[in-house]
Homo-oligomer: A and B are copies of this chain.
């Protein structure tokens, strides 16, 4: 499985030739090539110049048998900060493991759809050592194809529950939902609405369940009219927020289960002349870089995307080496990042009061 590359072209001079050119011993030249500290600056300069002049190609320092293996990262889209964080985590971990990363936007997301078979063929022909999927789940036949060709793969933050035995890495979404809701409860809010993504998406379902668990633990009533699904569309979040504000008992806080929906919530509140957080508090989920751009900056539950991606890469490397991870789902913990979008509700100054929940509205 070692690739020939164009080693013939690139072989270049030996270290002995470089040492002669630089007027140093071979061990000294070797020290420079290997980045050792115990070389005089002037000597280092001479050797470096000789290396450049002669076009010396150092052997990569990775384990020979694994030299320049490549893994594929397939994401649903490259144009968003979710992918940026995932790519960052994968690239760093891959560099540390001596792997190169080939990146593609997921199949069937472009004009007319990318042909599924073509994309899989490329993985096989190229001899991909493994594949990471980010928000781009394989279809049933793609799963079968990957198994058939013995290409290991790991899902990062899958939207749907993966089939049994498929290895995935996600965030502790349920716990994150609890954290966001408990934060609002601790400020004195009881009328807490939730705007989540599409129905039956596993991460949204888990965050919503966390919200409900936190309300139940605090004996705060869970109101059906406070639970909204906005898909991935900030305009839908805006509409739902306006509807929530029109309720006989409008919420004093909104937990929006994805930062990407928060601009819609802010817009709706501004359209009604309501201030964040004085009139209505908002908590997000993800901690995308954009969360800091909102005014006021969004308090949100941080999902450690880069760490999740790095974890997925490391699991993939183990699978490439023939190992099988023990569990199939790894969850990394989330944490609250407090910024400026939450405060006690207008009717409950101080933020420490916790009235017993009423039995019914």
Least CB separation from A81: chain B residue: B81
Whether A102 lies near B105 (C-beta < 8 A) is no
- Check if A306 is an interface residue, CB within 8 A of chain B: yes
Our pick among B102, B292, B294 for the contact of A70 (Cβ within 8 Å) is B102
| A85 sits at the interface (CB 8 A) | yes
Pick the contact of A78 from B3, B91, B145, B149 — CB < 8 Å? B91
A361 CB within 8 Å of chain B: no
Kindly supply a per-residue 1/0 record for chain A positions 61-84, scoring 1 wherever the CB is within 8 Å of any chain B CB and 0 otherwise. 100000110100000011111011
Q: Is the CB of B126 within 8 A of A100?
A: yes
Within 8 A of B (CB), among A171-211: none
- Tell me the complex Cα distance, A141–B45, Å: 12
Given contacts A58-B121, A122-B60, A149-B10, contact A5 B306 (CB under 8 A): no
Once the chains bind, are A5 and B125 in contact (CB under 8 Å)?
yes
Residue in B58, B295, B306 whose beta carbon sits within 8 Å of that of A117 in the complex: B58
User: A303 CB to closest chain B CB, in angstroms?
Assistant: 14
Beta-carbon contact of B122 and A105 below 8 Å: no
The answer to whether A263 touches B290, judged by C-beta atoms less than 8 angstroms apart, is no
* Interface size, chain A (Cβ < 8 Å): 67
Tell me if B79 and A85 are in contact (CB < 8 A): yes
Interface check A115, CB cutoff 8 A? yes
A33 within 8 A of B: yes
- Check if A270 is an interface residue, CB within 8 A of chain B: yes
Evaluate whether A118 and B79 lie within 8 angstroms (CB atoms) in the complex, with A125-B5, A293-B294 already known. Answer: no
User: Is A55 a contact partner of B293 (Cβ separation < 8 A)?
Assistant: no
Given A83-B84, A121-B58, answer yes or no on A270-B293 (Cβ-Cβ < 8 Å).
no
B293:A10 contact, CB within 8 angstroms: no
Query: Which of chain B's residues have a CB closer than 8 A to the CB of A124?
Result: 10, 57
What's the Cα separation between A10 and B126 when bound, in Å?
10
Nearest B residue to A122 by beta-carbon distance?
B60
A103 / chain B contacts, CB cutoff of 8 Å: 87, 91, 101-103
Task: Give CA–CA (A105, B91) in the complex, Å.
Answer: 7
Interface residues as binary, A137-153 with B (CB distance below 8 Å gives 1, 0 otherwise): 00001001100110000
Residues of B within 8 A of A221 (CB): none
Which B residue sits closest to A55, measured CB to CB?
B148
B83 touches A105 (CB 8 A): no
Which B residues touch A115, using CB under 8 A? Answer: 35
A258-301 vs B: 1/0 string, CB under 8 Å?
00000100100010000000000000000001101111000000
- Could you tell me which A residues sit within 8 Å of B by CB distance? 1, 3-7, 9-10, 33, 35, 48, 51-52, 55, 57-61, 67-68, 70, 77-81, 83-85, 87-88, 91-92, 95, 100-105, 110, 114-115, 117-118, 121-122, 124-127, 141, 144-145, 148-149, 263, 266, 270, 289-290, 292-295, 306
A-B contact sample (4 more), CB < 8 A, given A80-B81, A266-B295: A55-B145, A70-B102, A91-B105, A95-B105
6 residue pairs A–B, Cβ–Cβ below 8 Å: A4-B4, A51-B117, A55-B145, A92-B110, A95-B105, A101-B102
